[in-house]
Amino acid sequence: MLDSIVNAALANLLAPPILFFALGAFAGWAKSDLTIPDQAAKALSLYLMLCIGFKGGVEARASGMSQDLVASGALGLAFSFLTPFFAFVILYMLCRLERVTAAATAAHYGSVSVVTFAAGSEYLNSIGVEFSGHMAAVLALMETPAILAALIIVGGQARDPGTRFKPDLWREVLLNGAAVLLIGSFLVGLITGETGMQKLSGFVSGAAWQGALCLFLLDMGLVASRRIREASNIRFTLVAFAWIWPLLSAAAALFAARAAGLPPGDITLFAILAASASYIAVPAAMRMALPKADAGVYIPMSLAMTFPFNLVIGIPLYHAAAQMLGA
């Protein structure tokens, strides 16, 4: 088993997307002037979300409405909403973060990372492990409940103008671009099915998908290394949290998903989702909801620490753990 884990980890490290992430991280660390324009990076992000959602919808239509879809969706909603409360206790009590910053950081770890999901899906495809298309819908469902949990956590401090519920926030939470595109493209795939896939197969899969993922991870490597270099408020306890929390969250997700009777590939993907941390949708919402929270803490933690950890070590480790559980 140990040999298989090591071999899987090495294979993941030598995959083109991971190597491009490493290239970006090196370029950022070396202070290279290599950059990917913000609009191009945003376009790549939108493309990846469209592909994930659409392919998930097509596969969900092929498999039909199932008990697994209902179970994984309910499990995803529960994890995303409840996780921030546990994370907040650790961040506030042990890591000694200020209450609002602890709540905002906890929201990042309750939500999910689209690119970590994409990398996990690609890893499972590369080793021949099947998973359900509806996991793309679970990804979309897990984006926003954590934001609501963070608002509940700081609700007791509502007298502070920096932590008030704001009318525009609900629009930001429920209609943020990532959630709309993921759910919308999932529905398009669900409606059009295999006919739609035949028309878009060259666009949403194959070389086009691989190339976009490599470019996006190159940009993520650049951003992550520069964020960690600029971080000034990161203490050892926060670094430890960024690396240990994903392991704990993934372990809880593995046992919960197995108890719910999900298929093996879905169990691994659910653990990957639970271990991931948002660095796109949640930061945008937190800027509006909790403006006094320190972005110099939660962005480096989620993007520059947890994301690379999951990408390089976590994904093959979670799959190996799923296998050890007999999934």
What domains appear along the chain, each with residue ranges and CATH number?
2-324 (1.20.1530.20)
Asked if residue 211 has pLDDT above 80, the reply is: yes
More confident site: 283 or 321: 321
Q: What are the φ and ψ backbone dihedral angles of 76, each rounded to 5 degrees?
A: -65, -45
Cβ neighbours, 10 Å, residue 214: 20
Taking the C-alpha atoms of residue 152 and residue 144, their distance in angstroms, rounded to an integer, is 13
Asked if residue 93 has pLDDT above 90, the reply is: yes
Q: Give the angle subtended at the CA of 304 by the CAs of 300 and 305, to the nearest 5°.
A: 100
Asked if residue 173 has pLDDT above 90, the reply is: no
pLDDT of amino acid 241: 97
Taking the C-alpha atoms of residue 327 and residue 318, their distance in angstroms, rounded to an integer, is 11
- pLDDT single digits (tens) 53-82: 888 788 778 767 678 788 898 999 999 999
| Candidate ranges 101-110, 169-178, 189-198, 225-234; pick with highest mean pLDDT | 101-110
From 176, 51, 61, select the one nearest 118 (Cα to Cα).
51
The answer to whether residues 264 and 141 touch, using CB atoms and an 8 Å cutoff, is no
Asked if residue 231 has pLDDT above 80, the reply is: no
Compute and round to an integer the Cα radius of gyration of the chain: 19
The answer to whether residues 269 and 293 touch, using CB atoms and an 8 Å cutoff, is no
Asked if residue 279 has pLDDT above 90, the reply is: no
Indicate the pTM of the whole model.
0.80
Q: Give the angle subtended at the CA of 318 by the CAs of 217 and 324, to the nearest 5°.
A: 155
- pLDDT single digits (tens) 2-23: 555 566 666 667 778 888 988 9
Asked if residue 156 has pLDDT above 60, the reply is: no
**Confidence label for 201 from pLDDT (cuts 50, 70 and 90):** confident
Work out the percent of the chain whose per-residue pLDDT is above 90.
Answer: 35
Low-confidence winner among 33-37, 83-87, 153-157 (lowest mean pLDDT): 153-157
Asked if residue 182 has pLDDT above 90, the reply is: no
Question: Would you state the structure tokens that stand for residue 304, as one six-digit string?
Answer: 């520059």
Taking the C-alpha atoms of residue 172 and residue 167, their distance in angstroms, rounded to an integer, is 9
The answer to whether residues 96 and 288 touch, using CB atoms and an 8 Å cutoff, is no
**Confidence label for 312 from pLDDT (cuts 50, 70 and 90):** confident
The answer to whether residues 322 and 267 touch, using CB atoms and an 8 Å cutoff, is yes
pLDDT of amino acid 165: 53
Question: Would you state the structure tokens that stand for residue 115, as one six-digit string?
Answer: 């690119």
Taking the C-alpha atoms of residue 320 and residue 264, their distance in angstroms, rounded to an integer, is 11
Angstrom CA distances, 36 to 97, 207, 212, 252, stand at: 33, 20, 12, 37
Angstrom CA distances, 86 to 26, 150, 319, stand at: 34, 11, 24
Rounded average pLDDT over 272-295: 83
From 262, 248, 251, 245, select the one nearest 75 (Cα to Cα).
262
Angstrom CA distances, 159 to 107, 135, 156, 164, 165, stand at: 21, 40, 8, 7, 10
- pLDDT single digits (tens) 159-170: 444 445 555 656
pLDDT of amino acid 159: 43
Rounded average pLDDT over 181-197: 87
**Confidence label for 237 from pLDDT (cuts 50, 70 and 90):** very high
Read off the amino acid at residue 32: S
Widest Cα–Cα separation across the chain: 56
More confident site: 86 or 49: 86
